Structure 1
Amino acid sequence: MNQIGGFFDLWSPVLLLVVIIIGYVYSRLVANGNGISIDNEPVSVQQKLSFYTGLVLFYIGQGSPINYLGHHYLFSVHMLQQTLLYLTVPIFIWIGTPAWIIRKILKNRVIHALFSFLTRPLIALFLFNMLFSIYHMPLIMDGLMQNELLQLGYHTVLLISAFTMWFPVFCPLPELNRLSELKKLGYIFGNGVLLTPACALIIFADTVIYDMYANVTIPFAHLSPLDDQQLGGVIMKILQEIIYGATLAYIFFKWYRKERKEENYPDSFEVQDNLTPHGGNWNRA
């Protein structure tokens, strides 16, 4: 492989169109939903920016040259793509998604039951990390990379599991928020521990473990395949630590602000404790 692909190899117009359509549908839902009923809490500018940022990052990870180079040339770029798609995009999307949109989707009993099961903290935690680790087993990854349909299917399942993994941390629905702030800190720590073996296997391997990258000629870089492989593991581990560290800080300071507010305005929180969610409405218990 000495030739870089053409424009349509490096950029995906079809995926760009899909991202634009999703962004447009979101903007219409937000515009039409704001203020219509008590269930539809207003969507802030920060939420909108977060959602659109998630879409942009998704396209950068899946539809830009990052996807092509990571698939054909550089394992390090592949690991950067993994970080964008599975450890970054879901955070921005969940923060930008108002609760009432999710409630509309979950009105279907089958979808609600499946979603509720997959977002249980322990199931979400182990499912994502198990799928991620299995994907990076040399035999599995080499096989998937040779079959575009299987690769697309596995990536779709892995992306869905990434969204379910992040849901307990950035849950927009009070009725499905199963973790306290303290438990969320432990949950993120557990994620870091479970992701470490896959990174360590890649970083400390003394041979190229993926056949698809073993004999690649890189026309624009001076990395050996082994150096590129180890760099990929380092990139994944460092970016994972940064993202998880930022998430821990976010949860901690959110918890701190909540505790301070309870101390300063205890009466308002007593009123909230007498309210329970029911079908998207807050009714007195």
Structure 2
Amino acid sequence: MNQIGGFFELWNPVLLLVVIVVGYVYSRLVAKGNGNSTDESVSGTQQLSFYFGLALFYIGQGSPINFLGHHYLFSMHMLQQTLLYLTVPIFIWIGLPAWMVRALLLKNSIIRGLFSFLTRPLIALFLFNMLFSIYHMPFIMDGLMRHEWLQLGYHTVLLISAFVMWFPVFCPIPEMNRLSELKKLAYIFGNGVLLTPACALIIFADTVIYDMYTNVTIPFAHLSTLDDQQLGGVIMKVLQEVIYGGTLAYIFFRWYRRERNEEEDLDAIHTHDNMNPQGGNWNRA
């Protein structure tokens, strides 16, 4: 493949610096919170999840995936969107403790009210999928790609809506956890259904529907522009099924483990009561 861009085009050092700073601030907040006995501690698994989410964000937005997706390959653009909107928010929410989210989003009454409204399950569900579907309308996407700042603004709003969409499923704040596990399963299933039309439009189109990719020279042999477009739809749909399927399994087994632990606790209480019918004085004469 020919050289298609310089180092600063393929790798975004400014974004890398931002990611490093965010990771450092997070580590300092975690160290401070873990040292305060009044706050819940952040486990190593949570911290690893947050850092992994940051790494995925940089891979999606600051690596050659972003450059290739914007200039050459629609399939890379769809891979980028899968990483940013369907994967990154999961790991970030898992890595954020409740006290940190409260401090960042719930201290200000205006932000708290707006966040509480947007994260209502039905609103969160339809907001993301509506914005995602609108973005993939050919005239919308072509127009945004021609104007860098408009594209950046829309992608920022779409990323925020993705975090909002995943919040009801991986809610770190107990008092805002509105959905039972059964409802979370239905919520994820509904997401999969609403995301399907945009993928189907791309996969089954028999012509190139995005002007921005019509006259580009694809830097890979034996891959036509139409094949690349259909491959992008397949990548999004297959990875979406894998991610949503994994999320469903995660929720189900977490639900199963909690129910089983509760049953074991009840059995232990009943066993204790049967052995001590008079409050522990059954040996008293």
Give the number of equivalent residue pairs.
267
- For residues 268 and 159 of structure 1, the distance between their equivalents in structure 2, rounded to whole angstroms, comes to 46
Query: Can you give the 5+ residue segments of structure 1 that lack an aligned partner in the other structure?
Result: 270-285
Change (3 A) 1:109 1:37: farther
Q: How does 1:3-42 map to 2 (within 5 A)?
A: 4-38=4-38, 40-42=39-41
- For residues 151 and 233 of structure 1, the distance between their equivalents in structure 2, rounded to whole angstroms, comes to 20
Q: Which residue of structure 1 aligns with residue 62 of structure 2?
A: 63
- CA deviations over 1:202-253 (Å, ceiling 9, x no partner): 0000000000111111233321000000000000000000000000000000
- For residues 20 and 267 of structure 1, the distance between their equivalents in structure 2, rounded to whole angstroms, comes to 49
Q: How does 1:1-285 map to 2 (within 5 A)?
A: 4-38=4-38, 40-105=39-104, 106-266=106-266
Percent identity between the two aligned chains: 83
**Residue identity opposite 1:127 in structure 2:** L
Structure number with bigger Rg: 2
Aligned partners of 2:218 and 2:225 also within 8 Å: no
Give the secondary-structure state (helix, strand or coil) at the position aligned to 1:206: coil
Q: Which residue of structure 2 aligns with residue 277 of structure 1?
A: none
- For residues 216 and 11 of structure 2, the distance between their equivalents in structure 1, rounded to whole angstroms, comes to 21
Aligned partners of 2:69 and 2:75 also within 8 Å: yes
Q: What's the CA shift for 1:267?
A: 8.8
- For residues 65 and 189 of structure 2, the distance between their equivalents in structure 1, rounded to whole angstroms, comes to 29
- For residues 268 and 138 of structure 1, the distance between their equivalents in structure 2, rounded to whole angstroms, comes to 61
- For residues 268 and 180 of structure 1, the distance between their equivalents in structure 2, rounded to whole angstroms, comes to 25
- CA deviations over 1:124-146 (Å, ceiling 9, x no partner): 00000000000010000000001
Which TM-score applies when normalising by structure 1?
Answer: 0.92
Which TM-score applies when normalising by structure 2?
Answer: 0.92
Query: Can you give the 5+ residue segments of structure 2 that lack an aligned partner in the other structure?
Result: 270-285
- For residues 251 and 78 of structure 1, the distance between their equivalents in structure 2, rounded to whole angstroms, comes to 29
More displaced 10-residue stretch of structure 1: 248-257 or 260-269: 260-269
- CA deviations over 1:179-204 (Å, ceiling 9, x no partner): 00000000000000000000000000
Change (3 A) 1:72 1:264: same
Aligned partners of 1:171 and 1:177 also within 8 Å: yes
Aligned partners of 1:35 and 1:41 also within 8 Å: no
Q: What's the CA shift for 1:45?
A: 0.5
Give the secondary-structure state (helix, strand or coil) at the position aligned to 1:265: helix
Aligned partners of 1:58 and 1:85 also within 8 Å: yes
- Which of structure 1's runs of 4+ aligned residues deviate more than 6 A? none
- CA deviations over 1:151-196 (Å, ceiling 9, x no partner): 0000000000000000000000000000000000000000000000
**Residue identity opposite 1:45 in structure 2:** G
- For residues 112 and 120 of structure 1, the distance between their equivalents in structure 2, rounded to whole angstroms, comes to 13
Aligned partners of 1:51 and 1:97 also within 8 Å: yes
- For residues 58 and 234 of structure 1, the distance between their equivalents in structure 2, rounded to whole angstroms, comes to 21
Aligned partners of 2:202 and 2:233 also within 8 Å: yes
Aligned partners of 1:75 and 1:229 also within 8 Å: yes
